[in-house]
């Protein structure tokens, strides 16, 4: 801490920026950890419930149990589009008949795709900050170090003494910036890779669920 107090203004600003990066990165890591963890758990539970229940209206009535699952959002959008088509059919006085033309299936497919995209956006929100921290924090720290060493050498030139005792403290103070840059960047990079991987799994699950949902709808339409 004494070394931090002895650093120059530029190095202090750099350290402040790096501290901000670190605090926000860790906040995002905690936030994403909770979000992705809940999304995974509730998606698993929703899929179990989906395959056991098999009735869309019964599933729709229980959607409140899975508020954090992206699959429940997909189901909600798909089922909403299906109901619209159904209502359209009713308007045409074709009671209890879901539209069998391909246009109706396409509508549901588009709705599911849109829901998938919005869920991906929600899940990937703030991850760009982690990527930015991971890639820029070391360089910001390096800038602070280079600046600190420049100032230290200037001081050495003014005093005229180049002994290790004179050179070492200035360089040590300057190196704090690189150290803190790495401390901010390493967890950010690790968190970014980890969450990207988990989100990829969730995206695959959403694609799979969309396909299954469309198949079920098409099968039920074909029966009629």
Is the four-CA dihedral 192, 198, 201, 206 of positive or negative sign?
A: negative
Nearest distance from C-beta of residue 165 to other proteins, angstroms:
13
Residue 57, C-beta contacts closer than 8 angstroms, at least 6 positions apart: none
Q: Which is nearer to other proteins, 59 or 105 (CB)?
A: 59
Give the chain's radius of gyration (CA, Å).
28
Nearest CA-CA partner of 221 in 81, 98, 90, 93: 98
| Rounded Cα–Cα distance for residues 37 and 146 (Å) | 41
Q: Which is nearer to other proteins, 144 or 191 (CB)?
A: 191
Nearest distance from C-beta of residue 76 to other proteins, angstroms:
6
Q: Which is nearer to other proteins, 150 or 167 (CB)?
A: 167
Tokens at 128, concatenated: 């760009």
Q: Which is nearer to other proteins, 45 or 153 (CB)?
A: 45
Nearest distance from C-beta of residue 179 to other proteins, angstroms:
11
Nearest distance from C-beta of residue 144 to other proteins, angstroms:
17
Interface ranges with other proteins (CB under 8 A):
1-2, 19, 22-24, 26-28, 30-31, 34-35, 38, 60, 63-64, 66-68, 72-73, 76, 79-80, 83-84, 126
Is the four-CA dihedral 16, 19, 21, 23 of positive or negative sign?
A: negative
Cβ neighbour number for residue 150 with a 10 Å cutoff = 14
Q: Which is nearer to other proteins, 73 or 152 (CB)?
A: 73
Nearest distance from C-beta of residue 119 to other proteins, angstroms:
10
160 DSSP 8-state letter = T
């Amino acid at each position: 801490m004494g070394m931090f107090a002895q650093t120059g203004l530029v190095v202090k600003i750099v350290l402040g920026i790096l501290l901000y990066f670190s605090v926000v990165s860790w906040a995002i890591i905690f936030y994403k950890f909770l979000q992705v963890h809940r999304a995974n758990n509730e998606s698993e539970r929703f899929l179990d419930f989906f395959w056991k229940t098999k009735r869309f209206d019964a599933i729709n009535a229980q959607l409140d149990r899975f508020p954090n699952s992206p699959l429940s959002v997909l189901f909600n959008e798909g089922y909403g589009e299906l109901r619209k088509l159904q209502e359209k059919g009713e308007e045409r006085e074709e009671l209890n008949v879901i539209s069998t033309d391909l246009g109706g299936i396409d509508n549901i497919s588009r709705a599911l795709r849109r829901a998938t995209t919005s869920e991906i956006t929600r899940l990937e929100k703030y991850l760009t900050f982690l990527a930015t921290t991971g890639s820029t924090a070391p360089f910001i720290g390096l800038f602070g170090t280079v600046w600190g060493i420049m100032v230290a050498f200037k001081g050495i030139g003014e005093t005229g003494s180049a002994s290790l005792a004179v050179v070492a403290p200035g360089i040590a103070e300057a190196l704090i910036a690189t150290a803190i840059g790495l401390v901010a960047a390493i967890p950010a990079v690790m968190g970014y890779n980890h969450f990207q991987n988990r989100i990829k799994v969730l995206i695959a699950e959403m694609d799979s669920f969309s396909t299954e949902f469309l198949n079920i709808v098409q099968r039920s339409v074909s029966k009629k």
